[in-house]
Structure 1
């Protein structure tokens, strides 16, 4: 499953990495804000056999910031439903509910999806 990143989301990840160190995303299958990609300091979200690693986002270098990667995970149950979907993590104004690291900045990550065509 391809996972992409918008420039706005990449810039927010650079800010969060400067504050919190290495990062990770977990995309749950809950409703409302529970279906938003949640950004955590790497290791702060406990992964298990029930989670699928979708891959690593490449955050390109910008100015003096070096390039880095952010792992993206999803519950295996949700993965079965979204397996043929291309995901893009975006950033929008507003506060989501939850523990995602961007919340204090008045923005939230949002996943946009497109069904992959054969």
Structure 2
């Protein structure tokens, strides 16, 4: 089954509809601390991609009953991580273009 994708615009709309969004950022902690997507409806989690790619136990902390939007800098690592999470029966979507696209989209707001 192909991975679901969500555009920055769709994510922005979800946030404005007061929909709770679980956002998993798989970048290194220092990059996450420099900038990550925030909002009153965002439940942001930072789990470095190696934890997921190596099938670490850390993924057990993620909710299986909610959609998880996975992001990274440009979307490549997020796609790899989302594929693994999907194999473990998580409901995942990838933020197209990652944080880079999100920042570009915000400039239009």
The TM-score, its normalising length taken from structure 2, stands at: 0.25
Q: Which has the higher strand share?
A: 1
Q: Which has the higher helix share?
A: 2
